[in-house]
Structure 1
Amino acid sequence: MKDLLTGKVLLISGGTQGLGAGIARAAAREGARLVLAGRNTERGEQVAAELRSTGADAVFVRADIGDVPQARAAVVATVERHGRIDCLVNAAGLTTRGTILDTTPELFDQHIAVNLRAPFFLMQAAIADMVRRGEPGTIVNVISIDSHGGQAFLAPYVAAKAGLAGLTKNAAHAHRWDRIRINGLNMGWSATDGEDVTQRHAHDAGPDWQREAAARLPMGKLGQVDEIADFVVFLLSERSGVVTGSVIDWDQNVIGGLG
């Protein structure tokens, strides 16, 4: 498929690295006009420059989306530059570890701020612009397969991501008559930059951890950023039809399957 997002204005939170940057590259190939929001100015400007070198319309906006005014300002900057926002991807995320017993209120609040509150208010601002203009739009929330329950050391992460799964359905239901389609992607174990850092620092993984992990998985590989990015672009595009309120498990293990 070609030109799935031609002329569409797309804001990506966390668009400066990992899956967010992968989605930006895939969307640029499909003709989107891109605004990348993130905290790291150097990395954000590098990704935006890379995209512009391919002919894409791409800019970086510095925003710590865990701060509500900065999250809202990213949408404002998008609308000021392009006159509107057509699409939003909430790809930024926090994965720091904590169990139900050792999670502090501060760590819990950090997860809620980045993994739930930020998508809430980014969607609020984007939907407000779409409704004001009376035009359709699409949103994809990057959630997690762990929203189904997850591992013991992911308690605050699971709490926030499960909330985002519910929020995705609620917002989709509320705005279906506005022709605003909102879907979520429950990512499974994937080969992202962030996962590499987490495995090395939190789990003492060696340099060959991805190959060793892949050998233990049904499909013989971890989820790949380019494959996930292409699917997100599909969900953003008109080719995904009327689909809204879906939270799709992108994983090779089946929830509820045993043995």
Structure 2
Amino acid sequence: MGLLDDKVVLVNGGSQGVGAAIARAAVREGAVVAVTGRRPEPGEALVGELSAAGGKAMFIRADLADAEQAMHAVGDVVAAYGRVDCLVNSAGLTSRGTLLDTTPELFDEHIAINLKAPFFAMQAAVADMVARKSPGTIVNIITTSAHGGQPFLAPYVASKAGLVGLTRNAAHAHRWDRIRINGLNIGWTATEGEDATQKTFHDATDDWREEAAAKLPMGKLGQPDEIADFVVFLLSDRSGVVTGSVIDWDQNVLGGLD
């Protein structure tokens, strides 16, 4: 439908999972896309896939645990394409830790990737938009766990709850620049990363997805391509004036009790 025709979109953490799905959807809707990731193999494979399908894409190797690299990724996109119109912060660290066993090192890792990287990526992208006096859009991929979450996700929840506040603060600060900034609190989603997490931390077997889906209201986990379509909508003009919204994208209802 061309919702993002001629837009330049940067997807941080875009080489796999939800980020890769967003990159595919953005290209399908007419965007030029850049994706960042730590490992070149999946990132370059994705760019090859998108290019083979007729899209225009580039991969930027960046470790988002380093805020400088998050900022430089924006600069690389501007150098390559002249601007950044849309930014998606999709990277996320989900390693486990409770209030009692989380070390300062683990806490800092979560803050670095889940909060600090989005902060400084937004800083660089918004600076480019403001300098060009051009509107833009940003979507932060957050989590329904930001409402409180499970006990074993303490540092993750702390960092992602911070991203909720940052999303609203930045949206308010730059609404007169016509830069719209929104967030998506996604629920349990079927990704490569979630598969690794379930097997690493919860001794899950290969059929864990089917078992989990059977216990969910819609009979399935969240799907990356469905999330991607919603993100493209938020990035596009079709979402109108919406800014500062953090939307729960999930099949469980906050506050609902059986």
TM category, shorter: over 0.9
Q: Which amino acid aligns with 1:176?
A: R
Measured after TM superposition, the shift of residue 43 of structure 1 is 1.1
What is the TM-score of this pair, normalised by structure 2?
Answer: 0.99
- Who is 1:249 aligned against? 248
Residue 4 of structure 1: SS of its match in structure 2? Answer: coil
Measured after TM superposition, the shift of residue 211 of structure 1 is 0.7
What is the TM-score of this pair, normalised by structure 1?
Answer: 0.99
- Who is 2:161 aligned against? 162
- Who is 2:238 aligned against? 239
Measure the CA separation in 2 of the matches of 1:38 and 1:142.
16
Q: CA RMSD in A?
A: 0.5
- Who is 2:209 aligned against? 210
Measured after TM superposition, the shift of residue 68 of structure 1 is 1.3
Q: Which amino acid aligns with 2:238?
A: R
Q: Which amino acid aligns with 1:248?
A: I
Measure the CA separation in 2 of the matches of 1:47 and 1:118.
22
Measure the CA separation in 2 of the matches of 1:201 and 1:42.
22
Q: Which amino acid aligns with 1:68?
A: A
Residue 138 of structure 2: SS of its match in structure 1? Answer: strand
Give deviations 1:6-32, integer Å, cap 9, x for gaps: 110000001100000000001110011
Measure the CA separation in 2 of the matches of 1:120 and 1:52.
30
Measure the CA separation in 1 of the matches of 2:124 and 2:205.
42
Identity within the alignment, %: 69
Measure the CA separation in 1 of the matches of 2:155 and 2:138.
24
Q: Which amino acid aligns with 1:4?
A: L
Deviating runs (4+, > 3 A) in structure 1?
none
Measure the CA separation in 1 of the matches of 2:152 and 2:103.
13
Alignment of 1:125-204 (within 5 A): 125-204=124-203
Measure the CA separation in 1 of the matches of 2:18 and 2:54.
21
Measured after TM superposition, the shift of residue 69 of structure 1 is 1.2
- Who is 1:3 aligned against? 2
Q: Which amino acid aligns with 2:92?
A: G
Give deviations 1:57-103, integer Å, cap 9, x for gaps: 10001111110111111000000001110000000010000000000
Residue 156 of structure 2: SS of its match in structure 1? Answer: helix
Measure the CA separation in 1 of the matches of 2:178 and 2:223.
31
Residue 248 of structure 1: SS of its match in structure 2? Answer: strand
Residue 245 of structure 1: SS of its match in structure 2? Answer: coil
Measure the CA separation in 1 of the matches of 2:232 and 2:199.
30
